[in-house]
């Protein structure tokens, strides 16, 4: 089996990140926005792992360890994020992100 080209890995990561970004920016449902964020985090994880394969030594180690941290972080973020969404949803009885436009004025 031919070795995977590093460029393909990074390309896949970039595509996944862009998809996540599009989800975050276009979907109005707050839960879907959170899912988009998860997708972006995982895309960055993939990028890290790809670089870890490409390089050797210390850089390789960093590339393998950082995704572990990111996964833990993503778990915590999902936890807090979901809790916040539930909290603010109770006030307005909607999960529409555009309903929360109270920053200005």
Partner 1 sequence: MSASFPLWLIPLLPLLGAIVNGALSLAGARSANGPARGFVALIAVLAPALSFLCVLMASYRVDAVVPIQNELWTWFSAGNFHLGFDLLFDRLTSMMLLFVTGIGSLIHLYSVGYMWEDRGFARFMAYMNLFMFSMIVLVLGGSLPVTFLGWEGVGLCSYLLIGFWHKNNDYNDAARKAFVMNRIGDLGFLLGAFALFGACGSLGYVDIAGFFAKQDPAVTDGIWTLAALLIFLGCTGKSAQIPLLTWLPDAMAGPTPVSALIHAATMVTSGVYLVSRLGGLYSHCPQALTVILVVGCLTALYGAVCGLFQNDIKKAFAYSTVSQLGYMFMACGVAAYDVALFHVLTHAFFKATLFLGAGAIIHSLHHEQDMRKYGALHKLVSHGHRPLYLTYVALVLAWWSILGLPLGSGFMSKDLIIEHVFGGHATMHGIDVASLVGVVALVTAGITAVYMTRVMYLTFWSADRVPAETREHVQRVPVTMAAPVLILGCGSILVGYLWFEMASTWTRGCPFPEYLMPIFHPSEFARIEAARLAANGADVVQVESGHTDWVMTGAAVALAVIGWVVAAMLWRKGPRGPGVAEQPSSDPTGFGASWTWAFDRVYHALVVLPTRWIALILYWVIEQMLIGGLTYAVAEFAAFLGDGYASVQRPRLRASLALSIAGAAAVLWIAPLSSGLNHVWTGLGRVLRAFY
Using the minimum distance from each CB to partner 1, give the nearer residue, 2 or 25: 25
93 belongs to the binding site for partner 1 (CB under 8 A):
no
Q: Near partner 1 by CB under 8 A, which window of 6-14, 51-59, 73-81, 93-101? A: 93-101
28 belongs to the binding site for partner 1 (CB under 8 A):
yes
Number of residues engaging partner 1 in binding (CB under 8 A): 12
Choice from 1, 2, 3, 25 touching partner 1 (CB under 8 A): 25
Dihedral of the CA atoms 19, 20, 24, 25 (nearest 10)?
Answer: -30
Q: Which residues bind partner 1 (CB under 8 A)?
A: 21, 24-26, 28, 33, 97-98, 100-101, 103-104
């Amino acid at each position: 089996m031919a070795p995977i080209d590093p460029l393909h890995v990074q390309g896949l990561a970039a595509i996944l990140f862009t998809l996540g970004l599009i989800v975050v920016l276009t979907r109005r449902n707050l839960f879907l926005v959170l899912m988009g964020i998860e997708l972006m985090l995982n895309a960055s994880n993939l990028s890290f792992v790809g670089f870890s394969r490409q390089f050797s030594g210390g850089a390789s180690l960093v590339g393998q360890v950082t995704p572990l941290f990111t996964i833990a972080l993503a778990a915590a973020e999902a936890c807090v994020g979901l809790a916040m969404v539930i909290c603010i949803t109770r006030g307005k009885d909607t999960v529409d992100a555009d309903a929360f436009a109270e920053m200005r004025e």
